[in-house]
Amino acid sequence: MKKLKQNKKFWLSAKSEINRFLIPVLIIAETLWLIKKMTSKRIIEIILNDISNIDIGRFDYYYIPHRSDFTKAITKSIVDTCSRLDLEVILEYNVEVSEDIIKEYKRLKNSYTDVVIRNNLDKDIAIEIDSSFKKWSYKKLEILNEQGLESTWFVWKRKAPGRGLKWKDPIELGFTNEKIHLVTHTFFADEEKTNHNTV
């Protein structure tokens, strides 16, 4: 009986050790499988979720971070997410634009979009990051969409204490192309977060 108990204890211990090593392996395998099955739209969902959790640092009535701080934080978040998902990221991606469009929008010949993500199993993804609705950003995304990329326009604002915030209607501004995925996001100051979360 004593030997039987010892054998049982040994097998329980062995099973515990196997599980300890096997579970992380299964999690990694499942993650790799999900990545291989991941569509561009799903990648965008993950990217946007990570952006919504950005910690911009101090942001209150007495200190408001610069717009560039937000843009850098958003870009870094996208790069970090893609690194986690093992996706190639190209910053300042060159956009091929026709002479007619360059003249119409009064732009330089060399034009760039903020981020392009390579997805070997689905469409590549183009992302423009803006703090306001800019016609040129929108046009670049339309061009890239016509070239076969999944185009996302991330437009953000910051809400500081005691300061107003008003979003214009993008449809009224003429941004009506349903192929362009438009996302708006508001970063709230520390004091505003509490008020915003209780509404």
Mean pLDDT (whole number) for 47-76: 93
pLDDT at 5 over 70: no
Give the pLDDT band (50/70/90) at residue 88.
very high
- Token look-up 């843009």 returns 71
Looking at residue 151, its pLDDT comes to 97
Asked if 153 and 141 touch (Cβ cutoff 8 Å), the reply is yes
Give the pLDDT band (50/70/90) at residue 191.
confident
User: What is the residue extent of each domain of the chain?
Assistant: 1-37, 39-198
Give the pLDDT band (50/70/90) at residue 197.
very low
Looking at residue 198, its pLDDT comes to 35
Both tokens of residue 141? 């995304």
* Euclidean distance between CA atoms 54 and 14, whole angstroms: 42
* Euclidean distance between CA atoms 90 and 79, whole angstroms: 9
- Per-residue pLDDT reduced to its tens digit, 158-173: 988 877 788 889 989 9
Looking at residue 144, its pLDDT comes to 96
Mean pLDDT (whole number) for 105-114: 85
Q: pTM of the full predicted structure?
A: 0.76
Looking at residue 161, its pLDDT comes to 83
Sheet of strand 88-95: strand arrangement? 88-95, 111-118, 125-130, 150-159, 180-188
Q: What b/e readout covers 45-59, taking b as 16+ CB neighbours within 10 angstroms?
A: eebbebbeeeebeeb
Q: 26 or 163, which is more confident?
A: 163
pLDDT at 199 over 70: no
CATH number of 39-198: 3.40.91.20
Looking at residue 31, its pLDDT comes to 55
Looking at residue 116, its pLDDT comes to 98
pLDDT at 17 over 80: no
Supply the mean pLDDT for the chain.
Answer: 84
Asked if 115 and 75 touch (Cβ cutoff 8 Å), the reply is yes
Chain centroid offset of residue 42 CA:
11
Q: What is the DSSP string of 105-168?
A: HT--S-EEEEEEEE-TTS--EEEEEESS--HHHHHHHHHHHHTT-EEEEEEEEEE-TT------
Which of 33-37, 70-74, 92-96 comes out lowest in average pLDDT?
33-37
Mean pLDDT (whole number) for 79-96: 95
What is the DSSP pairing of strand 125-130 with strand 111-118?
A: antiparallel
